[in-house]
Structure 1
């Protein structure tokens, strides 16, 4: 595959910087957080932003800033777990289907196409509704929905690599099929897959927040951006800050992923196509 030299631009720098800042805040949450995110103080409920509570308090008097900071750990950890297990499932399947092809591959891809025909959010809500709300069930549901996108993308990369002359040379040299996939194909698709998965983080965080907002994801009192938005809906008119700041947290994370993705989409629309 051809190597592409990535030239930094302002969007890429801002996106990477914003994403690193969010990660660092989540890592150092115990030292940065001004208050206990679970501490209830009804005397200060729905307080406006102040020096003591920079983002104000929610309906139970909990510090919104502290809950947003700790929410980074929940949302990002869940997103990484989903990404890890999705790649563990989709990479072997994408390698085999893209390399072998034939009638079996055709039938398998038609099954994936039928899955992709259903909107992600509808299928995710259906699966979580069957499994029941909770952190683990939410992760399982999103993995079930997202893996088909990755298999389709990985398969297209493998097909492209298999057209290269060195793959034919490897076959003529007597290499077995598993060895060819492991030694010659996997290293070539590894970097594009990592880039694609990193760009998908924003969508996954949105899915996590959406499920929690509907009461199907992470349950209270765990600080999570989507559940904070759900709790804030009843108080938005009298205390708009309880919804504005968690919404901005989601916006900035997705914006960081979007700024990075826009740059990479311009590099190779064939390899890094949007799913």
Structure 2
């Protein structure tokens, strides 16, 4: 039971954060965009549990609404990345044709550049904004999933039951759907859970640099960017958004580590 504590804790934190984002209109004590200059940089109190920022906006309300921007955007990016990378990775690893070798050389060249640097370059070309940032992250991260999925497919295709399935006259589509796909879903889930935290960090980082979500939209990275000039005067404006990012990324790490541990016996049994 003790081995499941990190998994339950990680899943619980993620579910609580998602629920708080969904219920933000009812949980937020104030309008996240309402400006009250008379209350600017107020310390945490009963009326403002997390204090206020440099424009007198409620930090707690902005964090709650920021879940809808940061976490929801990262989840959509992750879903579209998998939808693009999964079929390409499956076909690439299963066919092993000349186009596959060419594709892998292109992907290796792409992955040779740090993802943050390449994403910054693409956003710089497209221009700042939430949509452009999402497109830039998607253009960079799909190659990682293709490479991971392709390596998993290459490993599974060496198993005896795949050879038996081919000798039994199964079509390629049936082999991909019924024999290969179920075997690689678990490792993909592990990788995607961990990558969710990475995407959140990437979104927050780009927004912090002014290339992602633009003010006054509530977003954790934007809140950190706005708080840098007031950190010494009112540290709470940076501490609470930073804690929100750390808490979510840590919960993704806990879930991913536990899934990885659960996946080991399955691979040994060849399930």
Range class of TM-score, shorter chain: over 0.9
Q: For residue 9 of structure 1, give the secondary structure of its aligned residue in structure 2.
A: helix
Indicate which of 93, 100, 122 corresponds to 2:95. 100
Matched, 1:41 2:36: yes
Indicate which of 163, 166, 185 corresponds to 1:168. 163
How far off is 1:271 after superposition? 9.8
Q: Could you list the runs of 5+ residues in structure 1 that have no partner in the other structure?
A: 1-5
How far off is 1:102 after superposition? 3.6
User: What is residue 178 of structure 1 aligned with on the other side?
Assistant: 173
Q: Which moved more, 1:115-124 or 1:159-168?
A: 159-168
Counterpart CA distance in 2 for 1:85 and 1:271 is: 27
How far off is 1:31 after superposition? 1.1
In proportion to residue count, which structure has more helix? 2
Counterpart CA distance in 1 for 2:36 and 2:73 is: 29
User: What is residue 156 of structure 1 aligned with on the other side?
Assistant: 151
Q: Which moved more, 1:109-118 or 1:212-221?
A: 109-118
Q: CA separation of 1:271/1:234 partners in 2, compared to 1, >3 Å: closer, same or farther?
A: farther
How far off is 1:270 after superposition? 11
Indicate which of 174, 190, 193 corresponds to 1:198. 193
Q: Which moved more, 1:205-214 or 1:22-31?
A: 22-31
* Structure 1 runs (4+) greater than 6 angstroms displaced: 269-272
User: What is residue 240 of structure 1 aligned with on the other side?
Assistant: 235
Q: What count of residue pairs does the alignment treat as equivalent?
A: 267
How far off is 1:171 after superposition? 1.5
Q: Could you list the runs of 5+ residues in structure 2 that have no partner in the other structure?
A: none
Give the TM-score of the pair, scaled to structure 2.
0.93
How far off is 1:259 after superposition? 1.7
User: What is residue 184 of structure 2 aligned with on the other side?
Assistant: 189
What is the root-mean-square deviation in Å for CA atoms of aligned residues?
A: 2.0
Indicate which of 2, 16, 20 corresponds to 1:21. 16
Q: For residue 200 of structure 1, give the secondary structure of its aligned residue in structure 2.
A: helix
Counterpart CA distance in 2 for 1:238 and 1:162 is: 60
Indicate which of 217, 222, 226 corresponds to 1:227. 222
Give the TM-score of the pair, scaled to structure 1.
0.91
